[in-house]
Amino acid sequence: MNFEEIGKNLGLPDSIIAILPTIVDVLLALLILVIGFIVAGAVGSQLSKTLQKRKVDKSLAGFLASLLRWLLIAATVIIVLGRFGFETTSLVALLGSAGIAIGLALQGNLSHFASGVMILLFRPFKVDDYIASSGYEGTVSEIGLFTTTLVTLDNETVIIANSAVIGGPLVNYTTRGSRRAHVEVGVAYGSKVPQVLEILTAAAKRCDAVLSEPEPFTAFTGLGDSSINFTILAHCKPGEYAALLHQVRTAAYEELDKAGIEIPFPQVVVHKAAND
């Protein structure tokens, strides 16, 4: 494009004609920047909507959309700098080196982040699920990109790094809809086993926390040093485990007491040998 001819045809002074190519480059660069920002915003917004339609967590969808938006903006800026004669290859290499350095410095946090992305994508649990992880159990109140927050039965807030959640054993009690409790009960020797089985099962059935399906069941589990032992197996909602233990133990004690069946305490019988 002959800017000198264009300038003369427009009647521009020589001083303006001399800088006309620079003015055009600046205007074109501004146009590219504006278009780049608009496209980046539109693409990021569309990606966020698409991910949310596919049930991807809002936090992850927002992060990925923001990441794509800034990558497009960075590409636009590099293109503009290239038009002004900057060596973009060196700039890209510099940015890459900076990215590696930052990645090494934040290695632990990046591990938490990667684990958070895995949780949000593969969904081994979701908010309001009752889980056990890293020695804690409770209801999931928040799933972040770096940490997962639980609220325990003691109303304690526990924040666990996502890498610890993914890297260790994870139990999700909610996926099956119920959790089974084992309540151990010992009665005195001489008690009638069928009677005890019937009493303990009936005691469990009258507890509010015990689910009717699957039905509670009592098993004769062994012969102890001071007692014959039974185990009540009963299901409850995941968040009512402690309530079930309390209710079933209380009901079992009351019903056994009514039936006159003794719950023994540990004892040792010592026989003294006669002296010759």
Share of the chain above pLDDT 70, in %: 78
pLDDT at 16: 63
168 with 185, same domain?
Answer: no
Nearest-Å Rg of the Cα atoms of the chain is: 36
What is the chain's length? Answer: 276
16 with 41, same domain?
Answer: yes
Token pair of 190, please?
């001489």
Instruction: Select from 147, 172, 197 the last residue of a domain.
Output: 172
pLDDT at 220: 96
Question: What are the two backbone dihedrals, phi and then psi, of residue 99, each rounded to the nearest 5 degrees?
Answer: -65, -40
Number of domains within the chain: 3
Indicate if the pLDDT at residue 181 is higher than 80.
yes
91 with 185, same domain?
Answer: no
Is the overall model pTM greater than 0.85, yes or no? no
179-187 and 228-236 beta bridge pairing: antiparallel
pLDDT at 72: 87
Confidence bin at 144 (pLDDT 50/70/90): confident
pLDDT at 225: 87
Query: Would you say 128 and 142 are in contact if contact means Cβ atoms under 8 Å apart?
Result: no
Position with higher pLDDT, 232 vs 84: 232
**Average pLDDT, rounded, for the chain:** 82
Token pair of 257, please?
């007491």
Residue type, 207: C
pLDDT at 8: 56
For tokens 């958070």, the residue is 116
Token pair of 199, please?
């009493």
- Residue 54 within any structural domain of the chain: yes
Structural domain span for residue 155: 124-172
Phi-psi region of 222 (alpha: psi -120 to 50; beta: other; left: phi over 0): left
3 state SS of 226: coil
pLDDT at 87: 66
Query: In this structure, what CATH number is given to the domain that contains residue 233?
Result: 3.30.70.100
